[in-house]
Amino acid sequence: MLSDALENFLADRGRPTPFLVLDPAVVVDRYAALAAAFPGAEILYAVKACPHPAVLRALVAAGAGFDAASPAEVALCTDAGAAPERICAGNPVRGASATAACHTAGVRRFVTDSPEDLDEIAAHAPGSDVLVRVLVDDSGSATPFSGKFGATPAAAVDLLRACASRGLVATGVTFHAGSQQTRPATYAAGVATALEVAREAGLHRPVLDIGGGLPVAYRSEVPGFAEFAAAVGEHDVRLVLEPGRALVAEAGVLRTSVLRVSRRPGVDHRRWVYLDAGRYQGLAETENEAIGYPLRTPGRDGPAGPVVPAGPTCDGDDVLYRRTPCSLPLSLRAGDHVDLLAAGAYTASYASVGFNGFGPLPVHVVPAQD
Ligand SMILES: Cc1ncc(COP(=O)(O)O)c(C=O)c1O
């Protein structure tokens, strides 16, 4: 179900495509729903999911803090009105100069997962609060992270214990259960691991930062926030969440136009539908078909049949879905619109700046409704 503001905006079929349109009011609603499910928790919006200033300003006004991966993201947050003390530098591979720049901007909370990074934080962000990211099971997520980030529990304890001698404050433990994580039990397991790390490191009333990962109902239902809150449970901690996708996905629609519908006899029994946006114009999360956006074809209905949607570039990878079943009206023609729904997260921020001459994805924001 799209917001009235998004539907009203999309009712004008004359705008050049492709584009992403965002409704910040939907983000605020999702923030409120999450805050209600996790009373007392601090919610840090993961800026990378959709760094548009209108989204950031709406979240500042709603009371959110921010998880920023780079000095540029920190600047976006402070430009939107966020206080630096509400920003966590959550990317453990940010590098020394970025750590220094975040510190200069007033950030005093850093996530780490390696002794090398801890040394950099000590050198370039002296006296800061440190959270250690611990490796957890992230199976069940559409885009796992553990292959790249996270210290083992034993190494995480060592990192926390090493803080004091470096003049840093061991504050708590964080993990990321993988993005689009549909199993509440994964959070329960992550929380148990994180609490054990905090206990072994001797932390009193630690920050327990359960990261992002909360899922969105793209093509199938997912457990609601309350089920994840029940899995997390109640503990003597300062609870923090870092949602990205779950706050912004449903606030956006990516409108494309059909460039061509081709039959490919001898190659595929399905029609191929080439759109004017693909893997490089915001649909990066179709890689490995990780995210299956719901599709709709405004103005076209009637009998439908299987299609392979593909992007406009000359790259062989620029095919959205080969395995994920897609069915579009048989009447679909070049020039028709295909809307990708729940596309507010990880789209505009992932779009290439000019691959094959296709520019970055334009973003519109709906006018505020009375
Ligand atoms: C450190 C961190 N926190 C939070 C998030 C947000 O994750 P999600 O969009 O799955 O909620 C990410 C995503 O990359 C992340 O890297």
229-284 per-position pLDDT tens digit: 999 999 999 999 999 999 999 999 999 999 999 999 999 999 999 999 999 999 99
What spacing in Å lies between the alpha carbon of 179 and ligand 1's midpoint? 7
Q: Outline where the chain has alpha helix (H).
A: 4-11, 24-37, 53-62, 71-79, 96-104, 115-124, 153-163, 184-200, 225-232, 245-248
Ligand 1 pocket test: pick from 176, 240, 346 the residue with the most ligand atoms within 8 Å of its Cβ: 176
| Cα–Cα dist 105/256, whole Å | 38
pLDDT exceeds cutoff 70 at 137? yes
d(CA 2, CA 29): 13
Q: What residue type is 85 in one-letter code?
A: E
Q: Could you tell me the distance, in angstroms and rounded to a whole number, from the CA of residue 108 to the centre of ligand 1?
A: 19
Residue 181 CA: which ligand 1 atom is closest? 10
Residues with Cβ within 8 Å of 200's Cβ and at least 6 positions away in sequence, in order, are: 153, 157
Distance (Å, whole) CA 74 – CA 87: 7
Cβ(245)–Cβ(180) under 8 Å?
yes
Summarised one tens digit per residue, pLDDT across range 325-352 is 999 999 999 999 999 999 999 999 999 9
* pLDDT of the residue at 145: 80
Give the atom of ligand 1 at the shortest distance from the alpha carbon of 346.
Answer: 9
Q: Looking at ligand 1, which atom is closest to the CA of residue 111?
A: 1
Ligand 1 centroid–CA 346 distance in Å is 10
Ligand 1 probe mutation, 179, 207, 214, most atoms within 8 A of CB: 179
Q: What is the pLDDT of residues 347-370, one digit of tens each?
A: 999 999 999 999 999 999 999 876
Q: What is the whole-number distance in angstroms between the Cα of residue 194 and the centre of ligand 1?
A: 17
Residue 357 DSSP code: G
All domains in the chain, ordered by first residue:
24-248 (3.20.20.10), 250-365 (2.40.37.10)
Burial of 227 (0-12, 13-18, 19+ CB in 10 A): middle
Least confident of 13-27, 79-93, 133-147, 303-317: 133-147
Q: Which of 45, 47, 67, 111 for a ligand 1 pocket mutation test, highest count of atoms within 8 Å of Cβ?
A: 67
pLDDT tens per residue across span 165-184: 999 999 999 999 999 999 99
Closest residue by Cα to atom 16, ligand 1, is: 91
Whether 163 is catalytic = no
Residue 312, SS3? Answer: coil
**For the whole model, what pTM was predicted?**
0.97
Average pLDDT of 300-324?
Answer: 97
Distances (CA, A) of 90 to 45, 151, 186, 189, 210: 11, 14, 21, 21, 12
Judged against a pLDDT cut of 70, whether residue 41 lies above it is answered with yes
CB 130 within 8 A of CB 121: yes
Alpha carbon of 45 to ligand 1 centroid (Å) = 9
- Which residue has the least CA distance to atom 1 on ligand 1? 90
What is the CA(43)–ligand 1 centre distance, in A?
Answer: 12
Of the residues 77, 88, 163, 314, only one is catalytic, namely 314
Residue 109 burial (10 A CB sphere; 0-12, 13-18, 19+)? buried
How many whole angstroms from its chain centre is CA 96? 25
Residues contacting ligand 1 via CB (< 6 Å): 46, 48-49, 67, 90, 176, 179, 211-214, 242-246
Characterize 231-244 residue by residue with b for buried, 16 or more Cβ atoms within 10 angstroms of its Cβ, and e for exposed. Answer: bbeeeebebbbbbb
Beta strand extents in the chain (DSSP E only): 19-22, 42-46, 65-68, 87-89, 109-112, 129-133, 141-143, 169-174, 179-181, 207-209, 238-241, 252-264, 268-275, 295-296, 304-310, 327-329, 337-340, 363-365
